[in-house]
């Protein structure tokens, strides 16, 4: 934890894979697009997740909490313990491939965000870009939302639209959506961090202030 950590909102990023949105958030913190914030830890449920090496290269602490052979509740309990030890204010899911338990959600009420590569509520779950192509839609995109117990569910904060071209395949559509993800997620996180800062200094509750983020 840095000397300025207590003045900053401390962010944890949860990943299961390559962590490109984690890197986008780290870059946005570094260049000031997410002010008054620090990514204090990157947590993965996969010890071989490529994003772990990227986090280490960025100088961010990494923690692996393996989930194999464990219940969701038991696994989440250990992650929450790691986050509480680091006094985390905001949890950002970035390609984290597990639905969170009620215990996890209750530990960070309205402080857990996720980004998904579709215009939710359309096409939740895996292979959202292929779902969009199979569905014949003309537009897809990405969504940042607060997290609840359902698959890619929870109140939507912001979305970015991407045209589906006639010659798109899953790879080309994914690439264009990812560009927008890397723009949208830092924008939303900056807004939420600002609300967290305001909640620390005002009489309103966290819930009252954070509910304005998606208005």
Residues designated as active site: 116
- Rounded to whole angstroms, the Cα distance separating 163 from 31 reads 29
| DSSP three-state, residue 7 | helix
Please give the biggest Cα pair distance in the chain: 53
Of 118, 208, 100, 204, nearest to 156 by C-alpha is 118
Name the token pair of 52: 């772990």
Specify the length of the chain in residues.
215
Q: In sequence order, what are the residues at sequence separation of 6 or more whose Cβ sits closer than 8 angstroms to the Cβ of residue 157?
A: 113, 144, 145, 146, 188, 191, 192, 213, 214
């Amino acid at each position: 934890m840095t000397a300025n950590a207590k003045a900053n909102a401390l962010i944890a990023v949860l990943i299961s894979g390559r962590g490109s949105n984690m890197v986008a958030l780290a870059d946005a913190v570094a260049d000031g697009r997410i002010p008054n914030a620090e990514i204090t830890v990157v947590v993965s449920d996969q010890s071989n997740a490529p994003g772990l090496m990227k986090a280490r290269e960025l100088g961010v602490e990494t923690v692996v909490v393996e989930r194999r052979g464990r219940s969701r509740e038991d696994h989440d309990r250990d992650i929450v313990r790691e986050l509480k030890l680091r006094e985390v204010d905001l949890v950002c899911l970035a390609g984290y491939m597990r639905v969170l338990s009620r215990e996890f959600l209750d530990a960070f009420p309205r402080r857990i965000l996720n980004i998904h590569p579709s215009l939710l509520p359309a096409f939740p779950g895996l292979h959202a870009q292929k779902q969009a192509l199979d569905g014949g839609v003309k537009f897809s995109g990405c969504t940042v939302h607060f997290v609840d117990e359902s698959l890619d569910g929870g109140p939507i904060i912001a979305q970015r639209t991407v045209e589906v071209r006639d010659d798109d395949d899953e790879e080309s559509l994914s690439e264009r959506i990812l560009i927008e993800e890397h723009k949208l997620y830092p924008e939303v996180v900056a807004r939420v961090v600002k609300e967290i800062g305001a909640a620390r200094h005002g009489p309103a509750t966290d819930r009252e202030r954070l509910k304005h983020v998606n208005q």
